[in-house]
Amino acid sequence: MCATLKASGIQASGVQASRVQASGVQAGVHVSGALGLGVVGEDYAWVLQGAPEDTWWGEDESSDAACEAGRLKDAVEGLLLVSSYGRSPGDTPSDSGMTYDEFVSAVSMEAQPVSDLAGQTFDAVWALGLALRNAQRVWASAPGGPGGPAPRLHHFNYTRRDMAMEFLRQTALLNFTGVSAGGHTPVSRRVCVLRVVTVRADAFMAITSLAALGMLVAVLCLAFNLHYRRLKYIKLSSPRLNNMAAVGCVLVYAAVILLGVDHATLPAGASAPFAAVCTARVYLLSAGFSLAFGSMFTKTYRVHRIFTMSHGCTIGTKKKLLQDTQLMSLVGALLLLDVMLVTLWAVVDPMSRHLHNLTMEISPSDRGVVYQTQVEVCKSQHTETWLGALYVYKGLLLVVGLYMAWETRRVKIPALNDSHYIGLSVYFVVVCSGLSVVLASLLWQRVTLAYVCSTALILASTTATLCLLFLPKLHALQTGAADPVGQSMGLRLMCNTRRFAVDEFEEQRYRAQVQNKVYRRELAALTAEAARLELQLEGPSVAVSSASVSAVRAAPPDCGFCQKTSGGG
């Protein structure tokens, strides 16, 4: 007959999992009883003390005559055996200063056998010592009562119930890491803790400081340009366009600061301010790019139009020159397009704060805790579409600007158009903008690295634009180069007529001769044309040799001086 156990209560209560503190033969007795009551099988789970090498379910003495060995083996299907691990996992030292391996080595050096319970024994003695020490500290700090002074350890005897209770209380309060355990109770399931990754504070402060310094430099450049705007060298370099470029750089620097504003900077749980920051980033970056790069773009466009569309000395060349107001209107059109596009984005498909889950990480200090790392991003329903439109628009602007800078690369009249420095700035902006977009797309999961790389490229291109636009002008003023056009070409430019003159008398005489020849040829052509028209008015019978008239008209003017003066490119 199967051994009897208290499984009838389990059967009656409907419990489907039970833990029994027994091992070996006693474990077999309990399983045999469960088998007799029918509380085994797929619907029940039994947890017993034991180890994988245990085979008691195959031994005849583990059950009485009524329980067959085959049925007992079927009964232990799905059985869970639990045993003590006996050592601290990992290389974390215990409070005694030793790891489990160091403890085993120390015991082995004493030529003592190391049993499976050696670690637990050592920890038990360590716990006893800690409890005694803590009790002594409590008694040492306690004032004496009516019954006399507080007790000490040397006052203990087996009749001192008060001291025994204090020992028990201190033992219950113990929490230490021993050589036989990790100091943490295993959990049935891990606790998931959400952790939002933000930009490191030191990186944010460093980039913000650089951006603030850049804003200060841009303001100083703007003040410099306004103060010397009536100087010929500054006036001929389109100072109003340079002012717009400086303002654009200030906006870009401000956008760099906003790129580092995130969950750690804004108030906790504030979603509306974060959405406003997202929109402000796009506004500032787009508008700053249009003002800074658009100003260089329009100046390069004017140079390109002058030196690639003007062939020879023609009367209509002056009409092809673009005034500053026209170029500023073009920059304003670019800025207006930015404002309209971003505003449409903000109204139709507003951005908000979204969290992207990254790979889970197990806590190194507590394996029962799992961190779900999250990255916050600015996102709307159709973010890719809006960004694609902006990238295409800005990309086309970069490509056209790059083309015109390459076409005018040999023009060397710094005060007239800054073409050489503008070309270098355009190249630098194109490279940095492309790298910034690529790195931001590849490194978005590594928040701090992506922020540092993207902002560093933006700061580099913006600062290069300021330096290439304003440092040559500052250098010219410091060195006293009042007329860089004359220095580069041996000529002097008169601002009121935009015509070239030379300082040497012989050059002036040569110019007068050339102009005299040009005017004479033009006068002869006009006289021949007038004669032909008069003959036509007199009647059809009068014949005029059209070949001679054409020969006079076809004589090209001598443009040697014009080529000398306008051939800077």
Every domain of the chain and the residues it spans: 24-58+66-82, 108-139+160-183, 194-310+322-480
Q: What is the DSSP string of 1-52?
A: -PPP-TTHHHHHHT--EEEE---HHHHHHHHHHHHHHT--STT-EEEEE--T
For every one of its 569 residues, what pLDDT tens digit does the chain have, with 9 covering 90 and above?
A: 344 444 545 554 555 555 555 556 666 677 777 777 777 777 777 777 776 667 766 655 444 544 455 666 777 777 777 776 666 666 677 888 888 888 888 888 876 777 777 888 888 888 899 999 998 888 888 776 666 677 888 888 888 888 889 889 999 898 888 887 665 555 666 778 888 888 888 999 999 999 999 999 999 999 998 888 888 777 777 788 889 999 999 999 999 999 888 877 776 655 668 888 889 999 999 999 889 888 887 877 877 776 665 444 444 444 455 677 888 888 899 999 999 999 999 999 888 888 888 888 877 777 678 888 888 888 888 888 988 888 888 888 888 877 877 777 676 655 454 556 766 777 777 788 778 878 877 887 788 888 899 899 999 989 988 888 888 888 878 776 545 444 444 444 444 444 444 445 655 666 677 678 778 888 888 888 888 888 877 765 444 444 444 444 444 444 433 333 333 33
Which pLDDT belongs to residue 568? 37
Burial 254-274 (b: 16+ CB within 10 A, else e): bbbbbbbbbbeebeeeeeeeb
Which pLDDT belongs to residue 417? 46
Distances (CA, A) of 154 to 139, 144, 149, 151: 12, 16, 13, 8
Element (H, E) at 362: strand 352-362
Q: Are strands 17-20 and 45-49 parallel, antiparallel or unpaired?
A: parallel
CA 84 vs. chain centroid, Å, equals 48
Which pLDDT belongs to residue 556? 47
Which pLDDT belongs to residue 25? 63
Greatest Cα pair distance in the chain: 157
Which pLDDT belongs to residue 252? 93
Distances (CA, A) of 509 to 46, 312, 502, 544: 118, 22, 10, 38
Which pLDDT belongs to residue 223? 92
Classify residue 129 by burial, with Cβ atoms within 10 Å: 0-12, 13-18, 19+: exposed
Q: Domain 194-310+322-480 falls in which CATH fold?
A: Rhopdopsin 7-helix transmembrane proteins (1.20.1070)
Which pLDDT belongs to residue 190? 72
Q: What is the DSSP string of 52-68?
A: TT--GGGSGGGS-TTS-
d(CA 366, CA 73): 38
This prediction has a pTM of 0.56
Report the alpha-carbon angle 136-139-143, nearest 5: 160
If one counts every other C-beta atom within 10 angstroms of the C-beta of residue 82, the result is: 12
Which pLDDT belongs to residue 208? 93
**Phi and psi (nearest 5°) for 409?**
-65, -25
Per-residue 3-state assignment (H helix, E strand, C coil) for 521-537: HHHHHHHHHHHHHHHHH
Per DSSP, the three-state class of 179 is coil
Residue at token pair 């790195």: 439
The encoded tokens of residue 204 equal 């944010």
Which pLDDT belongs to residue 192? 82
Q: Which residues contact 449 (CB under 8 A, 6 or more apart)?
A: 443
Element (H, E) at 569: none
Per DSSP, the three-state class of 237 is coil
